[in-house]
A and B are shown apart, each in its own frame.
Chain A
Amino acid sequence: QVQLQESGPGLVKPSETLSLTCAVSGGSITEYYWSWIRQSPGRGLEWIGYIYYSYSEYTNYNPSLKSRVAMSIDTSKGQFSLKLTSVTAADTAVYFCARAFSPYTSGFYPYWGQGILVTVSS
């Protein structure tokens, strides 16, 4: 059974970079689409983007966040990561990592991490 686990700081200062990692167990990290999705009371569920690895990395980010987002994948460690720069209070949210349904679809998610609350505050 595929399991995902987010980790990272729960508190980030304004203007700094939010960095999270998602550890994957129970399945291959290659040839699947791995996404970050966040949830806040004000913005609801917001898709941040995905990363896909098969011989090389491919990423796709939400245009609303594209200038501040970077995702990467470490196949040797079975994990992928999110960096969000220049954060503000509006980036306070629960951040989920998720895996797409199959290697052939990128757009919906049966596998989710439990979520990690990240608060942006000085």
Chain B
Amino acid sequence: DIQMTQSPSSLSAYVGDSVTLTCRASQTIGTSLVWYQQKPGKAPKLLIFGASTLHSGVPSRFSGSGSGTAFTLTINTLQPEDFATYYCQQSYTTFPVTFGQGTKLEIK
């Protein structure tokens, strides 16, 4: 299985800050990297696929980058609704699909 490792596991920031979350794959996955946002009691929400393509309706303050094994999700000018847990997922192979353990973004 491809292991996905996210850092940090939690992060505190102020509204208006910019933050960068990191995801690393245990082997190269090209740009087959997906980011989700999840709020308590809700299903994950797709933000970015293909490492950098914003899903329809996702605000442009979210951006993704990276390739190979190292990826980042940047959120500029944090809004109150952005405080949530973020997960990365590799879509390189479905044998099996694997997720990171999440980064919890909390308001400071």
The chain A residues found within 8 Å of chain B, CB to CB, are 35, 44-47, 49-50, 60-64, 96, 98, 101, 105-110, 112-115
Chain B residues positioned under 8 Å from A45 (CB to CB): 44, 87, 89, 99, 102
Cβ B96 vs Cβ A63 within 8 A: yes
B74 interface contact, C-beta 8 A? no
In the complex, what's the smallest C-beta–C-beta distance from A119 to chain B, in angstroms? 16
Cβ A60 vs Cβ B94 within 8 A: yes
Q: When chains A and B are docked, how far (Å) is the Cα of A35 from the Cα of B98?
A: 13
* Residue contacts A-B, CB under 8 angstroms, 12 given: A45-B87, A45-B89, A45-B102, A47-B96, A47-B99, A63-B95, A96-B43, A109-B46, A110-B55, A112-B43, A112-B44, A113-B43
B97 interface contact, C-beta 8 A? yes
Binding site of B, secondary structure by majority: helix, strand, loop or mixed? loop
Interface size class, chain B: 20 to 34
The residues in B between 52 and 82 inclusive whose CB is less than 8 angstroms from any CB of A are 55
New A-B pairs, 12, CB < 8 Å, besides A44-B99, A44-B102: A45-B87, A47-B94, A47-B96, A47-B98, A47-B99, A60-B94, A61-B96, A63-B95, A107-B91, A108-B46, A108-B89, A115-B42
